[in-house]
Amino acid sequence: MRKCHCIEPVVAIYSFANFMAYPLLQQFVYQRLWEERSNSSLPASVNSSHCTVQNNSSSTVQEIQRAASMFFTYLDLISLIPSLIVTLTLVTYSDQRGRKIIILLPLIGSLLSFLAYFLVSFFTLNLYIFFVSSFLSSLFGGLGTFLGGCFSYVVDQCNNKNHKAVRIALIDMLIGLFSGGASLATGYFLKATGFSWPFLVTVLLQCLNIIYVSLLLEETIQPSLNNESTKKEFIKKLFYRIYLLFANSTCKRNTVFLLLLLSFSIYNFANLGGLSLFILYELNSPLCWDEILIGYGSAISTLVFLTSFIGVCLFSRCLQDIQLVYTGLLSVIAGFLMAAFTKTTLLMFLVRLPLLLALVPAPVLRSMMSGCVSSSEQGALFACIAVLENISTTVAVATFNSIYAATVSWFPGFVFLLAAGLCLIPMCLMSILTLNPQLSEEKRELLKENNNENE
């Protein structure tokens, strides 16, 4: 059977399935908690009576908001450690044994989670089953593992810095477009059929993805024929490859790399932490959105992926990488500042406008970090990035959900102000690269050396 090097369909299907499942899960848990705590069904449409119900029992609503927020905090934390260990091991392992395995295993893990969502919804099982499925899924890796594999797979095929940045941005754009389509379709699907059938669709989509990767996707790395004699030796070699990222480098190069890595982690923490609360914020009074409005809002939000991709393609011709990162960070800050004080449906939709370039920093920083290491170290690099991305994402969701639970009664928008403030930190870190002549020169030399090596 003829195979191909096209990873984009895998990313597209994975994004559609995951971003269909996650908003569904948030709304499903919120509805179940509402029914358990208030002994009544959640109003099916957004209207004045819904807000009237909330205003007449504000303590109950705040209790449900806090309970939902803490539920997702625990759900994320339970999978954190296993996912980190698996991600670090698998993505580093891929430098010698190939990329397909680290793309395939997270798909199997997601399939287990989606199957649990469907069974709990269809048979009205206990919500705590989600904790078990989350832990089991994390043993196969997670989103960080999948993205680490996909980005390494793409970088294996790139020959220069600009091509690399565009291909990485293309992956980000596909994630956005297909997650947007999923969000838009989910609202209508949910209203027409309830929760069970959309969850079943995510199961079928992930099965399709597994078949594609297993049978049609070509490997980009020739597996090494050297077999490790013991498991202990194997583990030592994995971590030794990560150690070599720093040990074989100059102090200046390590400083540049660490500044980029820290900037990426803090940006990811602030951006995803704030965005993860949009749905709970929209469900709360005074917005009181239903599944249709949430679907539209999520779909519009994912235009950010397209506009950020266009921004990288266009602005990379006339702006330096660091200037692109500044532009994206300012976009995030403006969007979250506006969201913090939004009280109407129209303004909540308009919040997406200043966020149009919010995802520009991610592919640019990944490309800059990729340029700091040799082609034989890309897997180890993306293992580090994936682990830090997993940590920052999980800790961000847990932290922001906890803060939201503590502040929802007096100022629900506080979490967005916090996210905007945190984005000032990577701006300061990137300024060190700009203002320090020695570090700036070191960064240019690293990128030049890497481009020559690829050529």
Domain 8-40+56-220+263-454: CATH class, spelled out = mainly alpha
**Contact indicator for 366, 71 with CB cutoff of 8 Å:** no
pLDDT value of position 226: 57
* pLDDT the model gives residue 46: 41
Predicted structure pTM score: 0.72
**Structure tokens that stand for 200 in this block:** 């079943």
- As a whole number of angstroms, the distance between CA 443 and CA 193 comes to 54
Q: pLDDT tens, position by position, for the chain (455 residues)? A: 677 888 999 999 999 999 899 889 988 998 899 888 877 676 554 434 445 455 545 677 778 878 888 898 888 889 888 888 888 777 777 776 778 888 999 999 999 999 999 999 999 999 999 999 999 999 998 887 898 888 888 888 877 666 777 788 888 888 878 887 887 788 788 888 999 999 999 999 999 999 999 999 988 877 665 555 455 666 666 666 667 777 666 787 788 888 999 999 999 999 999 998 998 899 888 888 887 888 788 778 878 888 888 998 888 888 888 999 999 999 999 999 999 999 999 999 999 999 999 999 998 998 888 877 777 677 778 878 877 887 888 789 889 988 998 998 889 999 999 999 999 999 999 998 887 766 666 556 665 555 555 55
Inter-residue contact 209 to 178 (CB < 8 Å): no
